[in-house]
Amino acid sequence: MKKIERSCIVCRKKKNKEELIRIVKTPEGLILLDPLKMFPGRGAYICGKIECISNFGKKNYLAYALKTRIEKDKLMDIKRELENLLQRGDVKR
């Protein structure tokens, strides 16, 4: 079985889909972390490197990947959630 690869929206490195964190824009317009990679909608992936999570909000990487506008507050909420995942060790680096 062929492994599915995706690119991190920040560093652009390709990795196995299972090694990345998925962020999804649902059909209802909600933007959520999708750790199980099961929500319907347009997805974007970010790797678990500290540098990528730190720089994730700087250049509208997520808005571009999800093809939508994202308020600064929502972006900071997602960044906080990513940092919490990283601190808990729920993310491969």
Buried b vs exposed e over 53-68: b needs ≥16 C-beta within 10 Å? Answer: beebbeeebbbebbee
Between CA 79 and CA 54 the distance in angstroms is 8
- Give the tens place of pLDDT for each residue, 39-75: 999 999 999 899 999 888 888 899 999 999 999 999 9
With the C-alpha atoms ordered 23, 11, 80, 21, is the resulting torsion angle positive or negative? positive
CATH number of 5-85: 3.30.1230.10
b/e sequence 1-38, b meaning 16+ C-beta within 10 Å: eeeeebbbbbeeeebeeebbbbbbbeeeeebebbeeee
Whether the predicted model's global pTM rises above the 0.85 cut: yes
Res. 87 pLDDT band, cuts 50 70 90: confident
Q: What is the average per-residue pLDDT within 18-30?
A: 95
More confident site: 90 or 61: 61
Domain ranges of the chain: 5-85
Give the confidence band of 88 by pLDDT, cuts at 50, 70, 90.
Answer: confident
Confidence of residue 1 (pLDDT cuts 50, 70, 90): low
